[in-house]
């Protein structure tokens, strides 16, 4: 049984399923279209980019998540979305989606929760871009992405310096420099191919030193 009333699998009956290869742009910021998407499998990123190719990642999406819901107001896409690995998406037309919401109040509430979570993340991102220096932003990005397991605070295997840079609003070169400083000072170590953060990084997150 699917517990999430807005699980993409529940939308398959009213949508189309598409398989996309890795690094496919699903749509770009500014595009006008009225489809809502659900992730059946794979990972995608939501990002903004400028003409010079600089990019800031807003969110990472995975199975069970919905995106493209902001087009419900008829405005152009607020951000771009790209697959990071082969993905299967369900695509639903706006009218079919709003009919589905009208018939399923629990799904409307689940969508509202999604929008609230995104607004919270964005508030955190705006705060850290405005209030933290680049070192603080990189540390904040690492601590948000790390998960606690038997080995300690571990970063996801596939997180590249480019991804960290995009999330922290800086360059790949700056991330590499900061990570090697952190390694040199023992705040970060690599063990059996896994990147582990020292507990002190979490404590320092609120009081980051200047780069
Ligand atoms: P839409 O504007 O239709 O197209 C881009 C999508 O990216 C948007 O709908 C949301 O689904 C998603 N999106 C936009 N901004 C954010 C954000 N700050 N955090 C997470 N997802 C977002």
Please give the model's pTM, rounded to 2 decimal places.
0.73
Who lines ligand 1 at CB under 6 A?
A: 46, 58-59, 67-71, 77-79, 81, 118, 121-122
Give the contacts of 77 (CB within 8 A, at least 6 positions apart): 27, 28, 29, 30, 31, 32, 33, 68, 70, 71
Rounded distance between C-alpha atoms, residue 18 and residue 90, angstroms: 6
* pLDDT of 211 above 70: no
Query: Between these two residues, 151 and 203, which has the higher pLDDT value?
Result: 151
Quick one: what percent of the chain has pLDDT higher than 70?
Answer: 95
Phi, psi (deg, nearest 5) at residue 140: -60, -40
With cut-offs at 50, 70 and 90, classify the pLDDT of residue 210.
Answer: very low
pLDDT tens string 98-108: 999 999 999 99
Q: Whose CA is nearest to atom 9 of ligand 1?
A: 68
């Amino acid at each position: 049984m699917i517990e999430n009333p807005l699980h993409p699998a529940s939308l398959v009956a009213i949508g189309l399923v598409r398989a996309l290869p890795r690094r496919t742009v699903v749509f770009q910021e500014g595009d006008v279209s009225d489809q809502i998407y659900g992730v059946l499998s794979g990972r995608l990123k939501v990002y903004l980019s400028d003409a010079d190719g600089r990019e800031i990642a807003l969110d990472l999406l995975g199975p069970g998540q919905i995106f493209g819901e902001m087009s419900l107001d008829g405005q152009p896409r607020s951000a771009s979305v790209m697959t990071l690995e082969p993905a299967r998406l369900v695509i639903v037309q706006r009218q079919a989606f709003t009919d589905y919401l009208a018939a399923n109040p629990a799904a409307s509430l689940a969508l509202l929760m999604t929008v609230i979570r995104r607004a919270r993340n964005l508030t955190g991102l705006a705060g850290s871009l405005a209030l933290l220096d680049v070192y603080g932003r990189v540390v904040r990005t690492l601590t948000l992405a790390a998960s606690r397991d038997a080995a300690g605070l571990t970063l996801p295997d596939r997180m590249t310096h480019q991804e960290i840079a995009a999330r922290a609003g800086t360059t790949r070169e700056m991330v590499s420099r900061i990570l090697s400083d952190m390694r040199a000072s023992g705040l970060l170590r690599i063990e059996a191919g896994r990147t582990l953060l020292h507990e002190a990084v979490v404590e320092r997150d609120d009081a980051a030193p200047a780069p």
